[in-house]
Amino acid sequence: MKKWWLVPAMFAALVSFAGTASACPQPEYYLSLGDSLAVGFQPDATGVGHPTDQGFDQLVAQRRELGLTELGCPGETTTSMLVGGSCHGATSQVSAAERFLAAHRGHTRLVTLVIGATDVEDCATATGIDLACVGQGIAAVQKNLPVIVSRVHRADPRAKIVGLNLYDPFLVSFLQGPAGQDLARQSVQLLQQVNAVLGGIYSQAGVPVADVESAFHTTDFTPASAPLNVTTICADTFMCAPAPVGPNIHPNAAGYGLLADAVQARLHA
C-alpha cells in the first residue's frame, strides 16, 4: 500500500519540475554581420589573417551576456553580402542571417552590421586615391545597404540593429612626408563622404550608428608633430606593425576595444 501512495507524490514532483523547466528563460542571442571586422580578423606572426576571439563583437557579447553568432565574412562587400559567392557558398550572408533570425525570432536581442569598407578600400594606394573607384564603391553602398538593412529588419523586427561607420587606416601615409600628408588629409575627406552615406542610410532606416570614426579620432590632425588620428591608427591597428605582420588594416585588441565601446555607447544612448 505504501508504494501506491508514492505514485501521486512522484507525479506531482514531476509536474512541478516540468513547470520549473518550462519557466527557464530562453537564450538571448547577438548576431554579428558584415566583413572581416565582424569576425575579429587579425594577422598572425607570419602576416596571414584569421578570424580571432578578440573582435569587438566578442567584447559586446561578454558585456551584455548574449550568445554570439558570427556570420561575417572577410572580404565581403555590400554586393557579395546580397548575392553570395563568398564565405557562405552559393547562398549569401543576408540569407544566412534571415534563417538565423527566423529560427530565433524574438530572442535575438542585438544585430551589428559593419560593412562598406571593402567596397572602397582598394581605391587607395601608396601613390594616390582613385576617385572614380571611390564613386563606384559609394554607388554600390547606396544601392545595396538599404536592401541589407531592410531584409535583416524584416526577418525579426524586434531585434535591435546597430550599424558601424568606418575608421581610416590610410592615415599612416601621413608619416611619408609632405606628399603623404596631403594623401592622408584627402583620405579622411573621402572617408567622411563614405561615412555620411552610411549614416544617411542607417538613419533613414531608424538604425543607430556606432561612431567608429570619432572613436579613432579620425579628423584630429593635432598636434602637427604627431597627429592624434595618426598615432591612434598606429597604436590600435596593424598599419604601423613591421613586416610580415604589417602593414595591415585590421584592428589589434585595443582597436577592437574602441569599436566595442562605440557600439556600447549607442546601446546606452
Counting the structural domains of the chain, the total is 1
Q: What is the CATH number of the domain that holds 251?
A: 3.40.50.1110
Range of the domain at 230: 28-268
| pLDDT, tens digit (0-9, with 9 covering 90-100), for 66-121 | 999 999 999 999 999 999 988 987 799 999 999 999 999 999 999 999 999 999 98
* 151 three-class SS: helix
Domain assignment of residue 1, yes or no: no
Bridge partners, 69 (sequence order): 31
- Inside any domain, residue 20: no
Is 191 contained in some domain?
Answer: yes
pLDDT at 9 exceeding the cut of 70: no
In tens, the pLDDT along 132-152 reads 999 999 999 999 999 999 999
Contacts of 127 (CB under 8 A, 6+ apart): none
Q: Can you give the pLDDT at residue 88?
A: 83
Residue 16: inside a domain, yes or no? no
Among 164, 151, 155, residue whose Cα is nearest residue 115: 164
6 belongs to a structural domain: no
The span from the CA of 144 to the CA of 49, in Å, is 27
Reading the block at residue 201, the C-alpha cell is 542610410
- Kindly give, in sequence order, each residue whose CB lies less than 8 Å from that of residue 225, ignoring residues fewer than 6 positions away: none
Give CA–CA dist 85/77, Å, rounded.
11
| CA angle (98 as vertex; 95, 99 as ends), nearest 5 | 90
Residue 248 has pLDDT above 70, yes or no: yes
Residue written as cell 613591421?
A: 242
Distances (CA, A) of 197 to 53, 139, 164, 191: 30, 9, 12, 10
Q: Taking 80 as the threshold, does the pLDDT of residue 196 lie above it?
A: yes
